[in-house]
Amino acid sequence: MTNHPNRNQYRYFKVCPRGFANENTYYRVHLGEVAEIEKEFQSYDDEHMMEGGYAGWTRDKIARKSGVAINWADRDRY
């Protein structure tokens, strides 16, 4: 498993607008787009703190399942 070709090319970003487990959105982010997503969500925690929302990098196993994470490049389609 450690030699999988995509393992080191993508990271997963989790966005939870109100802190509820069923409202999570996962983004699959290519390493070349890391700075872009960090800039997009840099003040997200501060803006959504009162509602319990948060955003950040995750290692949740469910994010890697097929059909769960949205490709960051395709985010405008959803």
Domain boundaries, the chain: 10-77
User: Edge-to-edge strands of the sheet including 25-30?
Assistant: 54-58, 10-16, 25-30, 70-71
Q: What is the pLDDT of residues 4-45, one digit of tens each?
A: 666 679 999 999 999 888 999 999 999 999 999 999 999 888
At 46 the pLDDT is 84
Q: How many CB atoms lie within 10 A of CB 27?
A: 24
Coil, strand or helix at 39: helix
At 31 the pLDDT is 95
At 45 the pLDDT is 83
Contact 34, 40 (CB under 8 A): no
For range 74-78, the mean pLDDT: 84
Asked whether the predicted pLDDT for residue 69 surpasses 70, the reply is yes
